[in-house]
């Protein structure tokens, strides 16, 4: 086995190791998003994702993909044949490679280390996403409002705000939701499906481990997010972003009746109801 001296990943041949080393040396780096590829061929394939070319189409659901490999991996989701089973949690997979990657979660293996900070990850894709946090590049822009994003998934989620798309639907009723966590909360509250996670200090119940972890920080008094303009500290990034509006003069929300500008969405909603009542217009808030 040939081991990488940067992330301890092992390969069966020296050729695969040399190809992998290109990721650490930034030899084949995409100029659009900063992602590093192991070879010029992989870089050319990756660049197709920015051009919008997706020539490979699934004959079952119609989804399109940039490479044939992505299509093959997607096609396995339509197949019930998943012969590779995890001995720890009984999850099943279509490919042995997917099983081996999954096992890292149980072994707590994180071979991919960030060169800028002390964080490490189980998968190279997670490391690449994290490394963008150290960069100021935002190659993905919203076609509706022009807002810039570092990752494509952030753009896809943001666009739902403009389109009103609700891709998460309940299997028990006709309710649809914009975000997955909204669906999970609905299933727990309305249909008693799923498992509530209870705080071991207070009776607070959460729908996800992430929410429970954020809640636990309040008991510990951990305010890790610090404002760059003043000494105030906050528990979550959302609280920090909302606070930063105090220091900003930017007003991105406007009333559709009088064009008055506001910093916060809640403020424009309250104003719009009052403004529509004064003008005798039926208030319709999206």
pLDDT in tens, 108-140: 777 777 877 778 887 777 777 777 777 777 878
Q: Report, as an integer, the average pLDDT of 252-280.
A: 83
CB atoms within 10 A of CB 235: 17
18: tokens are 């040399």
pTM of model > 0.85: no
Q: How far apart are CA 32 and CA 46, in angstroms?
A: 10
Q: How far apart are CA 236 and CA 211, in angstroms?
A: 10
Average pLDDT in the chain: 80
Structural contact between residues 233 and 227, judged by C-beta atoms closer than 8 angstroms: yes
Instruction: Check whether 285 has a pLDDT greater than 60.
Output: no
Q: Which residues of 88-116 are buried (b: 16+ CB within 10 A; e: fewer)?
A: eeeeebbeeebbeebbeeeeeebbbeeee
Structural contact between residues 36 and 28, judged by C-beta atoms closer than 8 angstroms: yes
Residue 137: DSSP 8-state: -
What pLDDT, on the 0 to 100 scale, is given for residue 286? Answer: 47
Instruction: Check whether 262 has a pLDDT greater than 80.
Output: yes
Please tell me which of 145-149, 166-170, 280-284 the model is most confident about, judged by mean pLDDT. Answer: 166-170
Q: How far apart are CA 170 and CA 253, in angstroms?
A: 31
CB atoms within 10 A of CB 196: 12
Instruction: Check whether 52 has a pLDDT greater than 70.
Output: no
The model's confidence at residue 66, banded by pLDDT at 50, 70 and 90, is confident
């Amino acid at each position: 086995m040939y081991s990488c001296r940067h992330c301890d990943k092992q390969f069966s041949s020296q050729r695969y190791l040399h190809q992998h080393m290109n990721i650490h040396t930034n030899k084949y780096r995409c100029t659009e998003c900063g992602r590093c590829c192991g070879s010029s061929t992989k870089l050319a394939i990756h660049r197709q994702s920015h051009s919008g070319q997706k020539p490979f189409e699934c004959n079952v659901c119609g989804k399109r993909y940039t490479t044939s490999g992505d299509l093959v991996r997607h096609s396995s989701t339509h197949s019930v044949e998943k012969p590779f089973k995890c001995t720890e949690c009984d999850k099943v997979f279509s490919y042995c490679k997917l099983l081996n990657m999954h096992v890292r979660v149980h072994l707590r293996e994180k071979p991919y280390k960030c060169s800028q900070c002390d964080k490490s990850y189980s998968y190279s894709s997670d490391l690449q996403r994290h490394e963008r946090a150290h960069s100021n590049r935002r190659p993905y822009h919203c076609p509706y409002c022009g807002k810039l994003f570092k990752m494509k998934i952030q753009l896809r989620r943001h666009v739902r705000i403009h389109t009103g798309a609700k891709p998460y639907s309940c299997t028990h009723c006709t309710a649809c939701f914009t975000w997955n966590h909204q669906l999970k909360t609905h299933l727990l509250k309305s249909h008693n499906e799923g498992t509530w996670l209870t705080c071991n200090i207070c009776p607070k119940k959460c729908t996800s481990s992430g929410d429970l972890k954020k809640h636990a920080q309040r008991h510990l008094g951990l305010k890790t997010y610090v404002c760059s303009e003043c000494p105030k500290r906050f528990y979550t990034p959302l609280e920090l972003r909302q606070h930063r509006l105090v220091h900003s003069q930017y007003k991105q929300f406007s009333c559709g009746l009088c064009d008055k500008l506001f910093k916060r969405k809640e403020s424009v909603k309250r104003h719009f109801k009052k403004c529509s009542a004064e003008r005798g217009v039926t208030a319709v808030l999206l």
